[in-house]
Amino acid sequence: MKKNMKIFLLVLLIPQFLSAQQSVNKEKHRILVLTDIENEPDDAESLVRFLLYSNQWDVEGIVATTSCWQRDETADWRIHEIVDAYGKVRDNLEKHETGYPTHEFLKQRIKKGLPEFGMEAVGNGRDSEGSEWIIKVVDKDDPRPVWIPIWGGANCLAQALWKVKNTRSPEELELFVNKIRVYTISDQDNTGPWIRNTFKDLFYIVSPGKQEYRSDGYFYSTWIGISGERRYRFPSGADKYIVDNDWVDKHVQSKHGPLGEQYPDIWYIMEGDSPTFLFLINNGLNSPNNPNWGSWGGRYELYIPPTQIFFHEAETRPIWTNAKDMVEVDETIYVDEQATIWRWREHYQNDFESRMDWCVESFDEANHPPVAKLNHSKKLSVISEEEFILDASLSSDPDGDGISYKWIYYREAGSFPSVIDLEKKNESAISVDAPKVNRKEELHFIVAATDDGKPALTRYQRVIVEVLPKEQHEQKQ
pLDDT digits (tens, 9 = 90+) for 404-413: 999 999 999 9
Looking at per-residue confidence, does 29 or 239 come out higher? 29
How does DSSP classify residue 291? G
- Under a CB-based contact definition with an 8 Å cutoff, are residues 152 and 35 in contact? yes
Asked if residue 213 has pLDDT above 50, the reply is no
Looking at per-residue confidence, does 24 or 311 come out higher? 311
Neighbours of 288 (CB within 10 A): 19
Q: Which of 3-7, 228-232, 292-296 has the lowest mean pLDDT?
A: 3-7
Q: Cα separation of 394 and 375, whole Å?
A: 6
Which pLDDT belongs to residue 470?
Answer: 87
- 3 state DSSP class of 470: helix
**Domains detected in the chain:** 25-358 (3.90.245.10), 379-476 (2.60.40.10)
Q: Which of 153-162, 255-264, 310-319, 379-388 has the lowest mean pLDDT?
A: 310-319
What percent of the chain has a predicted confidence (pLDDT) above 90?
78
How far separated are the first and last CA of the chain, in Å rounded? 60
What is the average pLDDT value for the chain, to the nearest integer? 90
Q: Cα separation of 125 and 119, whole Å?
A: 13
- Give the pLDDT mean for 195-221: 73
When pLDDT is cut at 50, 70 and 90, the band that residue 310 belongs to is low
pTM: 0.91
Across 169-311, where does the E strand assignment appear? 180-185, 203-207, 300-303
When pLDDT is cut at 50, 70 and 90, the band that residue 192 belongs to is very high
- Give the pLDDT mean for 377-406: 97
- Under a CB-based contact definition with an 8 Å cutoff, are residues 122 and 160 in contact? no
Q: Cα separation of 245 and 231, whole Å?
A: 20
- Give the pLDDT mean for 239-264: 96
- Give the pLDDT mean for 110-115: 98
When pLDDT is cut at 50, 70 and 90, the band that residue 207 belongs to is confident
Which pLDDT belongs to residue 405?
Answer: 98
Asked if residue 374 has pLDDT above 80, the reply is yes
Asked if residue 27 has pLDDT above 60, the reply is yes
Which pLDDT belongs to residue 239?
Answer: 85
Neighbours of 207 (CB within 10 A): 31
- Sign of torsion, CA 252 254 259 261? positive
61-103 pLDDT per residue, tens: 999 999 999 999 999 999 999 999 999 999 999 999 999 999 9
Asked if residue 431 has pLDDT above 80, the reply is yes
Question: Between the CA atoms of 310, 312, 315 and 318, what dihedral angle is there, to the nearest 10 degrees?
Answer: 20
Q: Cα separation of 348 and 337, whole Å?
A: 18
Q: Cα separation of 65 and 78, whole Å?
A: 12
Beta bridge partners of 329: 332
Asked if residue 24 has pLDDT above 70, the reply is no
Which pLDDT belongs to residue 220?
Answer: 67
